[in-house]
A and B are shown apart, each in its own frame.
Chain A
Amino acid sequence: MIDEKYIDLVTAYLQNDLNTDQQKKLDELIESGKIDLLDLKEMEIMIGKMDSLDTPKPSSAMRDRFYTMLDEEKEAQTVSWSHKLNGWMVEQKQRFQLSYLVYIAAVFLTGLMIGDLYAPISNQDEQIEQLMSEVSQMREVMMISLLDNSSPTERLKAVNISNEIRSVDERVVNALLKTLNNDSNVNVRLAAVDALTSHANNPAARSGLINSIAQQESPIVQAALADAMLALQERQSVDEFKKLLSRDELDSNVRNKLENTIAELI
């Protein structure tokens, strides 16, 4: 028998595919007796025989059997445990993703609910409103206490603060009226006229302004009240102005102004 390790050489020889190196090596091997020439020839003859052998055609029965087996195999494959496992895993994956989404949604909704508990969305405007009214109240308290300050500058500041209070209540109006009628400083009283005029929607402020007219001694305050009444178109003030006009000591400029004011109001 020919040694396995020379099979490549032999195969190449049998197929007539030897190059010169291989031919040389084969010749050497034959000469040295490592490959039996007889064996080689025998193999050569056998290859020749094999070529001449008929290749048997597959019968139709064989073909049928093949396809039957294939079908059987296919059937076996579909129900195989590996397939099942695979399917299960895909299913799990989908289920996992779904629950993940549900989980996210749940956290989100919980957050929303907690958030809503602490800061109800619908109440935000209300809270801002509340905050603003608190600021307004603080201003009020500050203003009222400042109005009693001995410093005229502080009192002036207080009157100016009242212009920033959006809707004034009775306390503020009363404090301003007290200032208008009693403050020792003309400029503070003057500022109070303006402040009360800007809050004239308050009936107490309006009537307080009218009643103050005859009490004022300062010509500049009298003139400011005339401006205010004109702006408010307050006809009830006419009688009060007439009281002022009846005073002999009335400043001539103011007298002139009051006469014009009365003429415009009537």
Chain B
Amino acid sequence: MKTFKFLFALLLSLLFGVVPSFAQKQIVIPLSNPGDPGQLELGIVRGSISVSGSDTEEVIISYDGDRSMNEAPENKNGLRRISNNSVGFEVIENDNKVEIGGAPPQSEVNFSITVPRNFSLYLSTVNGGDVQVENVNGEMEISNVNGNVSLTNVGGSATVNTVNGDITASFNSINRESPMAFSNVQGDIDITLPSDAGVTAKMRSEWGEVYTDFNMEIDRSNRESIEADSDVYRVSINNWITGRINGGGPEYMFKTLRGDIYLRKQ
């Protein structure tokens, strides 16, 4: 299996006399099996991620490094600075799996990536930006800490969590078998599902409210039920609102501490 390995160490300021402060660069990664579904893994500490699906057979990675993060003087005592700790990362492609890693935590990078439509995404960032995905169909595992996550026109399944940030997702198709989960601490969760989605929604907002325009069979009965038959003893604690949409299906969990939950019909 052919493996592409790209190592980029960008010497922004020194090699080129004058460099725009937001240098937009692009890398094109060909896939081992063009046309087949693939996946993208990207975890950064500082920066934003934006992924969009299009009719392409390769992965196009655009990024910019924020030069202003490096506050060290470029010339010191008559010497020029040749060290660089702004942007550096590594891209590995193996069997349609694209992995972007190795970005130093102190540098901020903003990624804008174009992938084929059938791609699974495993994205995470911590500070400094949002995660946005549009027009992609696949499995999505997305986490952010201080920033929003928005999924637009996506399909498949998703598990999304943030700490301080809104979660917005609109699905135009869902995987009928897969459960999904959306959780955060502070921020709203706003999910739009196809009107014929058969799911069992399990929702809880500790200090917020839950809203929906789906016809939901809501089961609040098991707030706290203790089931003691023969030797089996089960406690189900439930401050959860459990609602079956279109007869129910895989479990979709929505949990926030300090935000509202909106579950919308497309």
By a beta-carbon cutoff of 8 Å, the part of chain A in contact with chain B is 151-153, 156-157, 160, 166-167, 185-188, 190-191, 197-201, 218-220, 223-224, 227-228, 231-232, 251, 253-254, 257
Report the Cα distance A190→B232, complex, angstroms.
Answer: 24
Main secondary structure of the interface of B (DSSP, over half): strand
Which among B180, B232, B255 has the greatest number of chain A C-beta atoms within 10 A?
A: B255
Contact for A156 among B163, B181, B231, B239, CB less than 8 A: B181
Q: Is the CB of B232 within 8 A of A166?
A: yes
Q: Is the CB of A167 within 8 A of B181?
A: no
Smallest distance from the beta carbon of A236 to chain B beta carbons, Å? 16
* In the complex, chain B residues 236-266 whose Cβ is within 8 Å of any chain A Cβ: 236-237, 239, 250-251, 253, 255, 257-258
B interface residues with partner A (beta carbon < 8 Å): 139, 141, 143, 157, 159-161, 163, 175, 177-186, 206, 224, 231-237, 239, 250-251, 253, 255, 257-258
Question: Are the CB atoms of A157 and B239 closer together than 8 Å?
Answer: no
The answer to whether A157 and B178 have CB atoms under 8 Å apart is yes
Bound Cα distance A52, B244 (Å): 120
Residues on A with C-beta less than 8 A from B257 are 219-220, 223, 253-254, 257
**Complex A-B: 7 CB contacts under 8 Å:** A153-B157, A185-B161, A187-B181, A198-B235, A220-B184, A220-B185, A254-B257
A161 to B83, CA, bound (A): 53
Q: Are B234 and A198 in contact (CB under 8 A)?
A: yes
CA distance A186 to B163 in the complex (A): 10
CB neighbours of B163 from chain A (8 A): 218-220, 251
**With the chains together, A227 CA to B255 CA distance in Å?**
12
Contact B161 A187 (CB under 8 A): yes
Residue of A nearest to B122 (CB): A152
Tell me, rounded to whole Å, the shortest Cβ–Cβ distance linking B205 to chain A. Answer: 12
Cβ of A152 and Cβ of B237 under 8 Å apart?
Answer: no
> Which of A153, A187, A191 is the one whose CB lies under 8 Å from B178?
A153
- Is B253 touching A187 in the complex (CB atoms < 8 A)? yes
In the assembled complex, the CB of B126 is this many whole angstroms from the nearest CB of chain A, namely: 12
Task: Choose from B139, B177, B234 the contact partner of A199 (Cβ within 8 Å).
Answer: B234
Which 9 pairs show the lowest CB-CB distances between chains A and B?
Answer: A231-B237, A187-B181, A201-B233, A186-B161, A187-B159, A152-B141, A153-B178, A156-B179, A167-B232
Given A153-B180, A156-B159, A188-B181; 12 other pairs, CB 8 A cutoff: A160-B250, A185-B141, A185-B159, A191-B253, A201-B233, A219-B185, A220-B161, A220-B185, A223-B185, A223-B257, A231-B237, A257-B257
Given the complex of chains A and B, what is the CA–CA distance between A108 and B216 in angstroms?
54
Asked if A157 contacts B179 (CB within 8 A), the reply is: yes
| A-chain residues with CB within 8 Å of residue B237 when the two chains form the complex | 197-198, 227-228, 231-232
Docked CA distance A224–B257 (Å): 10
How many angstroms between the C-alpha atoms of A152 and B121 in the bound complex?
11
